[in-house]
Structure 1
């Protein structure tokens, strides 16, 4: 493997939008009762439904940590899984500390002519030294080798994939609460803005002040606002002033309105009943329940559901802005409740190389 020098933008690479055709999706099988606060069995059942939807749509690389292969097959038996496109599933055995592939593995860039794929390996520190990360730091390099990629960028700066949202047309959104947090790289906003523009191929980067209250990532943007292929932005919003996220989401809406125009913003409801239950029963992770953390495959948009009255409302709203995709709901209540992340957090897409114009 060869480390490239310079910046991706000056060499003609950029990060495409998530709805660009994928070569594959990378995920990891949940493991470790201590990682999941005693809810591992329930988490695995939800995960398998999510995994099956992705495998039906596209090639999938599933990382399983050593000694957990039998657990994976046992979970398949428990949920009575019927793999329609089982040849799409490619299992690799690699040690991990955690499963949130959005933040752990490389971020894939593609050349302007769409003919070459280049990974960028950012530094990872367990979301600000909150969790162990020795194995997670290594798995990105190991997957580059497994995927047969020869060249890559290796950046000694802390950045997680969930902290950046791009539209593939030169626009990006992030949050100060995460990337400028003292527990990350210690860079100032101007320094980080230039780095992000150079390494994601952006012309415009919008900094929101904060993400969701209590998000242990310190406020990842993929829990707040997402671009769509129609040119709209789906953004979490609530009119409930008692909701812990109300003031932050109001401020984010106003800021994105100034940058992109209010007509481009489409509000996603919050699962108010779920958040109220979380606050009442002191379940901090569940208080970050939201519908913006969806994942886009080649054929589907997979929207998280929480057994909440707003589940179908959110799915139907998202469906209006992904006209070329089937928009489906997959239950992710236990994944969030016991792990703190949702569906997009579990994934990392690999764009498909092809011939054509950007």
Structure 2
């Protein structure tokens, strides 16, 4: 008996899933103004992806009229109650069980039951999408988010100890138990653990260490790594640890991993402290890489690195500063549905 296998993000997609930001407390004192800006930022990403593949958008019932007015029939609308709009984390992780597409439904509890989070509605989105896509659900008892894993489609998964082993997510969990669960649900025969994520990811509205902002696969045995080169930034030591962890490492097939360093943006701080701006949090869709931009000199440096990794793809730079201000990036607001075989 075989386990489902999650394909790499660069495998062909049927569509991309996103969520239209609903009103909630995370928009802070700016309230409606911040919500409107977030919606513009999310829609800019959706518009860019839609040039390459269909986009389906979960929309809260209270926002249906507004969404229809803004979408102008460019995206499919699926109505369901929402708490927030981080589709990478609330949506399912699609995998193939043989030739059958299935949806792995993780337990979602607001990134470890964080005080500011609500998740009654978002915890149901995995099954909502699976039903809409017409695929079977593979249920997991593991508290996990899509941003907490990154796969190569050949049995290797990247992850962090502060997410899956978080006592607020999976109390008492062990490395061995988590690896068994990933083997059974997404076909991961080799797990590469990092100790932690970026510094700011442990502040308010952080995820406590998602891997998709520090390291991602860009092909078999190729890993892009967030490289903070300013020694005054707390992420400098974290970047060094990432590279040291991958030195001499192999993937599930036994191939030596090539580490590809992607320089962090030159901006070090914003009004809230040390930034966690990262080019690693990009999204690969059919024929394009949707890359976070920060109006920074390193935007073009990152674009050239990604172009070398994906020579057949168009690199689309999209300003992600507004998305990062709410705690994530472009990868965090998207979730791919693979094309059926």
Same fold (TM over 0.5): yes
Q: What is the correspondence of 1:116-135 to structure 2 with a 5 Å cutoff?
A: 116-130=100-114, 131-135=117-121
Cα distance in 1 for partners of 2:64, 2:273 equals: 31
Equivalent position of 1:301 in the other structure? 289
Cα distance in 1 for partners of 2:259, 2:128 equals: 39
What displacement does 1:148 show? 2.1
Cα distance in 2 for partners of 1:303, 1:179 equals: 26
Please tell me whether the aligned partners of residues 170 and 201 of structure 1 are also in contact (alpha carbons under 8 angstroms): yes
Equivalent position of 2:327 in the other structure? 340
Please tell me whether the aligned partners of residues 230 and 321 of structure 1 are also in contact (alpha carbons under 8 angstroms): no
Q: What is the correspondence of 1:27-38 to structure 2 with a 5 Å cutoff?
A: 27-32=18-23, 34-37=25-28, 38=30
SS in 2 for 1:14: coil
Equivalent position of 1:50 in the other structure? 45
Answer yes or no: is 1:156 the counterpart of 2:141. Answer: yes
Q: Which of 221, 226, 247 does residue 216 from structure 2 map onto?
A: 226
Equivalent position of 2:312 in the other structure? 324
What displacement does 1:282 show? 2.1
SS in 2 for 1:13: coil
What displacement does 1:146 show? 1.9
TM-score by length of 1: 0.86
Equivalent position of 1:256 in the other structure? 246
Cα distance in 2 for partners of 1:334, 1:234 equals: 23
What displacement does 1:258 show? 2.5
Cα distance in 2 for partners of 1:344, 1:96 equals: 19
Residue deviations 1:177-199 (CA, integer Å, cap 9, x gap): 11111111121111112211222
What displacement does 1:49 show? 1.4
Please tell me whether the aligned partners of residues 197 and 205 of structure 1 are also in contact (alpha carbons under 8 angstroms): no
Moved more, 35-44 or 261-270: 261-270
Please tell me whether the aligned partners of residues 86 and 334 of structure 2 are also in contact (alpha carbons under 8 angstroms): yes
Residue deviations 1:50-93 (CA, integer Å, cap 9, x gap): 101111111211111112123334545xxxx8x8xx3xx21111
Cα distance in 2 for partners of 1:182, 1:94 equals: 30
SS in 2 for 1:327: strand
Moved more, 161-170 or 26-35: 26-35
Residue deviations 1:117-137 (CA, integer Å, cap 9, x gap): 011111110001111000011
Q: What is the correspondence of 1:115-264 to structure 2 with a 5 Å cutoff?
A: 115-130=99-114, 131-149=117-135, 151-186=136-171, 187-215=173-201, 216-229=206-219, 231-260=221-250, 264=258
Q: Which runs of 5+ in 1 are unaligned?
A: 1-9
Residue deviations 1:11-41 (CA, integer Å, cap 9, x gap): 3420000000011111001121633232222
Q: Which of 281, 303, 328 does residue 315 from structure 1 map onto?
A: 303
Equivalent position of 1:268 in the other structure? 262
SS in 2 for 1:174: strand
**Cα separation, partners in 2 of 1:33 and 1:306, compared to 1, 3 Å:** farther
What displacement does 1:268 show? 0.6
The Cα RMSD (Å) is: 1.8
Q: Which runs of 5+ in 2 are unaligned?
A: none
Equivalent position of 1:26 in the other structure? 17
Please tell me whether the aligned partners of residues 91 and 126 of structure 2 are also in contact (alpha carbons under 8 angstroms): yes
Cα distance in 1 for partners of 2:127, 2:225 equals: 34
Q: How many residues align?
A: 326
Please tell me whether the aligned partners of residues 12 and 286 of structure 2 are also in contact (alpha carbons under 8 angstroms): yes
TM-score by length of 2: 0.91
